Structure 1
Amino acid sequence: MKVGIGYANEPDPLLSATRVIGEAVETGGISRPGLAIAFCGGQLDPDAYLKGLQSHLGMDVPVIGGSAIGVITNEHLSYRGYPATAAVLELNGIQCVVVSQTGLNGNERQTGRKLAEGLPDHTSDGLLFILYDSLKIPAGGDIPPVLNASAPLIEGIEGALRPYVPVFGAGLISDYGFAKSTSQFCGTFSATGSAAALLLSGNFQYYYRIMHGCSPLDGVYRKITKMAGSAIYELDGRPVVEIIDGLYGSGDWHHQHPVDLLTIGVNHGRRFGVPEEGSYVNRLITGILPDGKGIGMFEPDLEPGMEIQFMLRDGKKMIESARKNATELMAQVQADGKKARFGIYIDCAGRTGDYSNTPIEEAEEIQHVLNKHGTPLVGFYSGVEIAPFLHKSRGLDWTGVLLVLAE
């Protein structure tokens, strides 16, 4: 496997594509491109960018990717202007297939099932990389967005995936306000309201780590006593808005979409004792509901009767987690006698330095570690991150997922 990475930040999507592909082919020494993984910031025209990529790669090279808040490479990290990137892969015996399905906004589970059923026969030695449109209905004014859920999509995929392979990927967004449509690159075309999947198999080994960065606010467990869909109305029989007003000391958070600092966590580990970041699944709060009686969640996978904790986003812990996990992952690759050929970093858009108010970018830790090992890196800022976690593939929030392919 050979991989080249390209980057540009140009308002002209065709010029951007030309520079991205030129740099990727040159730095990777690519002579026979077999796959491209490409992303562009929400201000760049994604359809024109894809067409520009195809004008250089040819229509027989599948492109998977789409819109993002920003992009990450070995040398660049940007969510301002018109950032764009692509990884161009020369597969050298590794098999790849890209399939896609529309209709995500109507039924996530059915879309996932059809996506998996569209995959060809494969062995269990590979992985599935999926990208889907996070946005079902855009936000408007003080009305929070309606989002597509990762849980039923993944359940639909896994229910039809034979044999099973691990599922990685992301829900794509193009702006922090959840107001702009999001494009998915589906092999040879771009679409919205869709899901695309890349099946990779062959002579490679994958490694991954999940970077966290939240701490329990007060250690108090609160039971969900009233909710509907992805909206929570009551905890322990009390209005959830009233509880959060008390935590903030005001109602200023009512105007935040999504809510700053505070998330909701479910602890899958020991109930008491020192909190372990790897035991928590966290969920972003998209904002207060229009009627002011509840809060919206980024994923509708919580249920009445579940116990949750309020979590604080911890910038210091986030950066430490990125450094520690990336270092340990690359050490494991070396210990196994493998060579890391390619890294993909799926990073929650809430983890940017601007959004997290941190002095440095946590993704710089990923850059430093992979650059030390000479490993090509492509990354993007997402709405939802997907990886195997606690015995199943899950949609995650406020995480970074580092996936490394080695030979």
Structure 2
Amino acid sequence: MTLVTWLPFRKRFLLLFAFAFPLVLPSVPAAKAAAGMAAGEPGITSAVLLRLERAARRGDPDAQYRLAAAYLEGQGVEPDAKKAVEWYTKAARNGSAPAQAALGLLYTVGQGVPRDFSRAFDWSRRAAEQGDPLGEWSLGVLYAHGLGVEQSYGEALHWYRKAAAAGQPEAQHSLGRMYAKGRGVEADPAVAASWYRKAAEQGYAPSQFQLGVAYVQGLGVPQDFAQAAHWLEKAATAGDPFAQSDLAVLYAEGKGVSQDAERAASWWQKAAEQGELKAQDNLGSAYENGRGVPQDLKKAADWYRKAAAHGYPGAARHLARLYEEGKGVSRDPEEALLWYRKAAELGDVAAERELGRLYQSGEGVKANREEAEAWLEKAAEQGDREAKEELLLLEKAAKPPAR
């Protein structure tokens, strides 16, 4: 199987992996993976498909592999994952390493077959032992996460290194993650950044994002907001919502780029529509304050609600404030209390303070001095100055007047 034959379908499997194992590909949204796969992909005509099927039935493993890929992706035929698995299995049994790697991934994610990590490990190992870079990478993933085999960071590193040395960008990215997190090796941000760079320079968006973050934070590379913006924009343009969200922050703050509220809001919109919670919260703030978009308090409340409903504490607090003040929503102290509580229970310090204040004033809830003190103390212990001041006022109010 030539590299040219394999490349059009490789990202299809990575898309499946992204759905099943977000920790494996933590920053790869489905839309980005699909868009990357489609670039330059040749169409399969009915005549080509007929020739493939004839050759596949004669036992040609290359044709069997390509026919399986056509069924998986729906190229020239209706998509049929089960038929894809049938032809991948034939090709794999005939020794096709790319087909073995493909089967390993399909068994990992349960596409066309029941999920079976033992079989995933077996087929990935066969592909890896033939030197297939994708098989080496997927075998490393199984070792790293203990799927179908006892977890072993050492084995994961071994296979990641082999695939990375062959130029496999997913493996280079995974190797970067191992060095970033200190898994099986001593944590080394500089080595992590060097592996991210190798994959990023091949156009691999998750690594472009991680390299951008490294430049923002100065992790393993000198802090450089211009370089951060460069790499984040590449990943953002490829559709990565986390990169879109972080790039928006750079535009909002004018770091590494000219300050541009409209561009910031535009990138937040793209990320928010993909479900990125921080972007939804920031887009809500943009609408609330009319930064980069016309002020629209109802839209602000809607975006805050989306993020808050999925557990983003800052958005829950912002939504609570809108209910408290009656902005974009009907004023509702009880609803405000509910969202402040959600945010506070998620550890939002400002929400802990506000919840204490509501229990002190009795707005939306029966006044309760003990509850007020408890929430204010939680916020104060985390350094919140206003909570400390509120506690002092409570203490003074509790003291009997001097005679």
**TM-score (normalised: structure 1):** 0.24
Question: Which protein has the bigger helix share?
Answer: 2
Q: Which has the larger radius of gyration?
A: 2
Question: Which protein has the bigger strand share?
Answer: 1
